[in-house]
Structure 1
Amino acid sequence: MKDLGPLLLVMLFACAVACGNDEDSPVSTTPDQGPFDSGPRTGNVVFSPGDVRSTTQWGTDDYELNAAAIRGDTLAVSVSYSGGCRAHRFTLVAAEVFKESDPVQLDVAIAHDADGDPCEAYPTEDYQFILDPIKARYKASYGSGAGTIVLGLDRAPDVPLVYEFD
């Protein structure tokens, strides 16, 4: 029993040191902070030969479109979805052909790939889609001048999304 005294003191000292506050590697406990909180994420723009709502190859997971607006050559959206444990991907799927009208129209939809995220949080995030591929397709079809396209965004409220460019 006499020999156990120093051993117990060494063990208590080791526990105290191991449980101390390590200033070199602090842990954040703020639940709203994450590795993706640095501003809007950028999604890809792709063209689909079929119905833009048939987005199987780009993702079919559910989401809520909270807001959408055109800002210069960018479609900015706010989306909410179930998840929060894995990175989610949003893709703007555009029809291959324009609807002839004045101005022309283009059907677009947002595809969501949750990557099998099992979490049940409901984050809201901002995404942006650079519309340069749509502008290039317009100019290839109608000439290199200025243009106007009305984007028919699936799930968007009845607010017209008018994309104007030089």
Structure 2
Amino acid sequence: MRKPVWSGLVLCALLGCSGPKSSTGGEAPQPSPSAESPTAAPVEAPPAEPRAPADAAATPKPLQVTASPASKDDIIIKGVELQGDTLVVRVMHGGGCKEHTYELLWNGSFQKSAAGEAQAELVLAHDANGDSCEALLNRTASFELGPLKQRWREQNKSEHGAVELRFAGSQVTGRYTF
């Protein structure tokens, strides 16, 4: 009898179950009006505040140019998508007990590919804020690539171009055209 209860508690903790409504699927019991106060109106709970999805890409953060970009905590880049000047990155990492933050770092220089095209080596820095929980999290982060475009324009004296985006520690790449 203990094992099913324990498994149910673990599942509820992982899935975010809360109280009898979530675990039974029924309505939570409501207190009946007391006999001493026949005119008392039923008390209604305030509506729950809407929450943003955990993996929603918030307002894009700017790409940060730094002399020696380095990642802090482990992260796996699952994919990237370019939406105009915004890079949307799908990531996976462990955690679940604290808020995680992400930064996109670049040393400010371009390399040339074997085909002679411009490349930028980016570092997706992940800060788990000491989260030692082990749930597997899938998140999305977005970054504004304006500083990269501006640097390319200054160096190449042209308004339009393309840069291959490479990510340190990952085989995922993207092509940023502007």
Query: TM-score, normalized by length of structure 2?
Result: 0.64
Q: 1:23 aligns with which of 22, 39, 44?
A: 44
Task: Kindly indicate whether residue 166 of structure 2 is the aligned counterpart of residue 152 of structure 1.
Answer: yes
Alignment of 1:86-105 (within 5 A): 86-100=98-112, 102-105=116-119
**Larger radius of gyration between Structure 1 and Structure 2:** 1
> Which residue in the other structure is 2:121 paired with?
107
Please list every run of 5 or more consecutive structure 1 residues that lacks an aligned counterpart in the other structure: 1-12, 14-20
> Which residue in the other structure is 2:82 paired with?
70
Give the count of matched residue pairs.
135
Q: How far off is 1:61 after superposition?
A: 0.9
Q: What do you get for the CA RMSD once the two structures are aligned?
A: 2.7
Please list every run of 5 or more consecutive structure 2 residues that lacks an aligned counterpart in the other structure: 1-33, 35-41
Task: Kindly indicate whether residue 142 of structure 2 is the aligned counterpart of residue 120 of structure 1.
Answer: no
Identity among equivalent positions (%) equals: 28
Within 2, Cα distance between the matches of 1:38 and 1:78?
9
Within 2, Cα distance between the matches of 1:139 and 1:104?
12
- Residues 145, 114 of structure 1: alpha-carbon distance in 2 compared, 3 angstrom cutoff: same
Letter paired with 1:61 = D
SS at match of 2:45: coil
Q: Contact 2:78–2:90 (CA<8 Å) still a contact in 1? A: yes
SS at match of 2:129: coil
> Which residue in the other structure is 1:142 paired with?
156
Query: TM-score, normalized by length of structure 1?
Result: 0.68
> Which residue in the other structure is 1:48 paired with?
66
Letter paired with 1:113 = D
Q: Contact 1:44–1:90 (CA<8 Å) still a contact in 2? A: no
